[in-house]
Copies of this chain bind each other. A is one copy, B any other.
Amino acid sequence: MNTKSSPRTPSRPRTASPNRRERASDQRATGAVAAPTFKPIHTRRTFEEICERIREQLALGILKPGDKLPPERDLAQQLGVSRNVLREALRSLEMAGVLRLQKGVKGGAFIQEGDTRRMNEVMRDMLSLGTISVRELSEARVHVLDLVVQLACANARRADLDALEANIERTELATREGRLLDRVECSREFYKLLAASTGNKVIAMIVDSVTEIHMRFVYAKVASSGVAMARLAEKRRQFLSALSERNVALASRLLRSHLESVQRMLEQDPGAMSLHVALADVQPGMRR
């Protein structure tokens, strides 16, 4: 009758677990005026707690990029959890780009520099899950790029302009040699450089994430149809020229009209625009 329910001596102490529970249900008494504030539905699990503790140390500045966490076996013991559940937490943080795990003696879990590409993954997931649409993404991209042009005109430094110039040269070379897919890769890089030239990494991250997806569509289109944007390098040069002269209005107009023509190209054959084609797998040559 009591085989599994009765008092049961706790074979392992289960350190700190009770406290955690309490903290979770503490959650905002808020003066108890507005009644319908229910606490979040799913109970706090160990691995979430671990992730949070580590993130907390990060936010507090106790842990910084380059630091190493204790070995799994030690850390698990310190936290009073099994190694397996600790690993679930470390995995999650690794996927989140916060940690890098390295094998061997002198290996361990190292705090990483933030990986800005993480936002790309968020966008991809949102698209895969149907939370956002391709249309919304394209629209957002156009608007954000317009903002980027303004900021780039204001903030681009010599080195940024030079990098863009070098990119255009690579584009010309790829065009002459008929390497269409490499040219798409150049485009991707062009927008990345443009975004970087705003001098604002938040903006750059946002632009990169939407551009990365957009370029998958372009890549798929070019790969399947063999068509390619005409006079690309020429248009880029005009744009760069406007940018160098800090001519916001002209640069903005040029880019917008280019984006529109790309959009028309993509929409010629709506079938090729399917999510699956673009997202199904990492395109060759596209580093993640």
Given contacts A95-B95, A121-B96, whether A129 and B113 have CB atoms under 8 Å apart is yes
Determine if A284 is an interface residue (Cβ-Cβ < 8 Å). Answer: yes
B contact residues around A69 at 8 Å (CB): none
Q: Are A131 and B201 in contact (CB under 8 A)?
A: yes
Determine if A64 is an interface residue (Cβ-Cβ < 8 Å). Answer: yes
Cα A187 to Cα B91 with chains together (Å) = 35
Q: With a 10 A CB-CB cut-off, give which of A28, A94, A100, A128 has the most chain B CB atoms.
A: A128
- Chain B residue with the shortest CB-CB distance to A112: B129
Within 8 A of B (CB), among A38-84: 40, 42, 47, 51, 55-56, 58-61, 64-65, 84
Given contacts A88-B91, A137-B202, whether A131 and B116 have CB atoms under 8 Å apart is yes
Determine if A157 is an interface residue (Cβ-Cβ < 8 Å). Answer: no
Binds B, one of A9-17, A234-242, A264-272, A275-283: A275-283
Binds B, one of A139-147, A220-228, A245-253, A255-263: A139-147
B contact residues around A30 at 8 Å (CB): 284-285
Contact of A143 among B87, B147, B287 (CB under 8 A): B147
Q: Are A285 and B28 in contact (CB under 8 A)?
A: yes
Determine if A111 is an interface residue (Cβ-Cβ < 8 Å). Answer: yes
Contact of A88 among B88, B116, B126, B281 (CB under 8 A): B88
Given contacts A59-B276, A151-B143, whether A114 and B132 have CB atoms under 8 Å apart is yes
Determine if A108 is an interface residue (Cβ-Cβ < 8 Å). Answer: no
Chain B: minimal CB distance from A209 (Å): 9
Query: What are 25 of the A-B contact pairs (CB < 8 Å)?
Result: A47-B91, A58-B128, A59-B124, A59-B279, A59-B280, A59-B281, A60-B280, A65-B129, A92-B95, A98-B125, A111-B129, A113-B129, A114-B125, A114-B130, A115-B131, A118-B122, A118-B125, A119-B119, A119-B122, A123-B202, A133-B201, A136-B202, A140-B200, A143-B151, A144-B147
Given A47-B91, A113-B129; 16 other pairs, CB 8 A cutoff: A30-B284, A42-B102, A58-B125, A59-B124, A91-B92, A92-B95, A98-B125, A111-B129, A114-B130, A122-B122, A126-B202, A132-B202, A136-B201, A143-B150, A143-B203, A202-B210
